[in-house]
Structure 1
């Protein structure tokens, strides 16, 4: 009897231990899936394999290269939009400078809209693009007599990435989702990694057809895509991404600090102020406009009208950075790229204390004289007119 009683007690203890362990496993999984996440948001990370690598481009941009890894463990949503975060990794043989640079980049966000993207949504988005194209055509008509506005069409064709297999034509605008779509174009080829010449590699893969008639045929039968951004927001993004570094833009940075001294800052500061940068942009753009484009401008702040010739190509799909997720979703679906491309937003490098765009915009522009903001805006007036932007909000932020 004593032996049987001891067995019962031991068996009961074992059963209790098993039940306790099982409960702990359930609780741990619940915390890992839902503990710190907002409703409708799932965070997933690439694991440590070499099939998907984020690479630096020659100008320091980072692109997501490789397949998409999705964590569908938590399928709870309130809006029908699930957000996936991809943690960028480096190759084993990456240099210390490249490894240090990657620490400054925010993580890519890939938006999945399966639950809300209906035929009605597609039709509504198509109307948005049609309205934008119509507004662009109206603006182009108003500017048709401005001889300085038109550019050599062959130079514009050279800037375009031609994707005949998918009937897609895209003109990259730096600081307006260019890295995102460079990544997508590499994904279309099945590539899992890219060399350091990130943008050059894409340019080589998607050149303009040599035959002029073939170019014209593709222009008439393909989706003609352009992604634009508020000109002043684009300049701020270029400043934060390029001027706050200490690598390949250091020569330009040092030149700006020397040529445009700012009494309000330390002359030995590592980087120019945003005020100094805008003074440089103002003078650079003055030379550019007066020379009718023969004076070079860095692609990161080169005007869209000059780079892509929107009144000569007449883009029918004009995406805005302000509505990038919805715009890209339509483009990917309309072009039949759902299984090949990702609706991603590759963020600028995080080299200051601001993570939110609105907070950064106010902080930087509130220190800039209104007069300077007006001068810079006037030099980008074509981009403002063509794409329906206004500088008024930014001028209001400035100092007197």
Structure 2
């Protein structure tokens, strides 16, 4: 009788443990990518306030709290780093191929010198500004005071997760996001080249860089984890290093216009340019294709583009496209406490600083390019055809991004 009872107890415990394993081992692609058994690089040490004493209460442990506790025992708080690193199985053929094919570049550079005080202070200032503006009412915008639980799943599609290194990147189009996506593909080892992970960011084709299947984003959690999705998001937000890159909002708009409407892009021509031509350019029947439009010299002007952004009908038809949607709507900086805020204007210094904090600067370098880079000094010329009142309305539309990320109000454009 006693033996039978013990047997049933062991069966029950084994079943419970297997359920925990299924949930915790969230990467179901293959055993080589299991999070708990893959050494990860810790993020920057962010100081935490001393814990406040709480009144003693009796609470029945929940299933989710047990999962959280199970995860926490493997992680050092605030780093995403295993407390006991599990040796990598050297018998893996794929791992051996990877080591044979790749010698880390600039390995001599990793962590040999301390990060400059100026760079540390820059990050502290940017993080503090976000915290202060999110905590008071000096900046008001839709969704500012909602909780993370209230963010719709479709609005979490810009948060890319790398479980191998404990990183979450919120990508902002027109802010070097192509190259940062390349970095994330290299780090996550989601692209194989002749049996080994692709190590060169610039060797990744552009069509793969923006292929959603190459990136595991928060909005995919629901399909994979069901009712546990939001809880697992919170666990990762707590443990992983979170970063984003931003740029001057008006310059970002210029860049978006140049890229999508001054170059031949059939999709953007049909979805947006034709609408602008009909509404604002006195073109009731615009050319049917982008090639025909370019041949005839018919395209929406930058002023038409600004009119489109300010037109109330635009957002009634559909939300802003990601290339001109405000950063606060893409990355939710008042719900997610970012550990690192990079600026495109200081991209090289910030990228090097970030990769060192992530401890991957011996694995990958950030690819820099000056090709077709939109300069801040061009603002005056580009906005010369935009009426002063429209400029002021546009500033109100993007004011949260200006203030949250420390960009000065463009007085010369708004007070002529």
Give the TM-score range, shorter chain: 0.5 to 0.7
Shift of 1:391: 3.3
**Which runs of structure 2 are paired with 1:235-314 in the superposition (5 Å)?**
235-248=253-266, 249-251=268-270, 252-261=272-281, 269-283=297-311, 288=315, 295-314=318-337
Shift in alpha-carbon separation, 1:275–1:382, aligned structure 2, 3 A: same
Supply the distance in 1 between the matched residues of 2:277 and 2:412 (Cα, whole angstroms): 24
Shift in alpha-carbon separation, 1:194–1:344, aligned structure 2, 3 A: closer
Partner secondary structure for residue 311 of structure 1: coil
Task: Specify the structure having the higher radius of gyration (Cα).
Answer: 1
2:159 equivalent to 1:171: no
Supply the distance in 2 between the matched residues of 1:300 and 1:187 (Cα, whole angstroms): 24
Supply the distance in 1 between the matched residues of 2:378 and 2:302 (Cα, whole angstroms): 11
Deviates more, 1:267-276 or 1:374-383: 267-276
Supply the distance in 1 between the matched residues of 2:233 and 2:376 (Cα, whole angstroms): 41
| Contact 1:232-1:391 within 8 A present in 2 as well | no
2:131 corresponds to which residue?
Answer: 137
Partner secondary structure for residue 372 of structure 1: helix
Supply the distance in 1 between the matched residues of 2:359 and 2:154 (Cα, whole angstroms): 29
| Contact 1:162-1:169 within 8 A present in 2 as well | yes
Shift of 1:197: 4.8
**Which runs of structure 2 are paired with 1:1-400 in the superposition (5 Å)?**
119-143=113-137, 148-149=143-144, 150=146, 152=151, 154-188=153-187, 189=189, 190-191=197-198, 193-194=204-205, 196-201=207-212, 204-205=215-216, 209=221, 210=225, 211=228, 212-248=230-266, 249-251=268-270, 252-261=272-281, 269-283=297-311, 288=315, 295-346=318-369, 350=372, 357-393=375-411, 395-396=413-414
Shift of 1:140: 0.6
Give RMSD over aligned pairs.
3.4
Supply the distance in 1 between the matched residues of 2:348 and 2:159 (Cα, whole angstroms): 22
Shift of 1:395: 1.4
| Contact 1:373-1:394 within 8 A present in 2 as well | no
Shift of 1:281: 1.2
| Cα-to-partner distance string for 1:313-337 (whole Å, 9 max, x where unaligned) | 1212111111111111111111112
Partner secondary structure for residue 389 of structure 1: coil
Supply the distance in 1 between the matched residues of 2:405 and 2:349 (Cα, whole angstroms): 18
Shift of 1:310: 0.5
Aligned residue pairs total 276
| Contact 1:179-1:346 within 8 A present in 2 as well | no
TM-score between the two structures when normalised by the length of structure 2: 0.58
| Contact 1:231-1:380 within 8 A present in 2 as well | yes
Supply the distance in 2 between the matched residues of 1:372 and 1:155 (Cα, whole angstroms): 30
Supply the distance in 2 between the matched residues of 1:193 and 1:135 (Cα, whole angstroms): 36
Partner secondary structure for residue 115 of structure 2: helix
TM-score between the two structures when normalised by the length of structure 1: 0.60
Shift of 1:366: 2.5
Shift of 1:345: 3.2
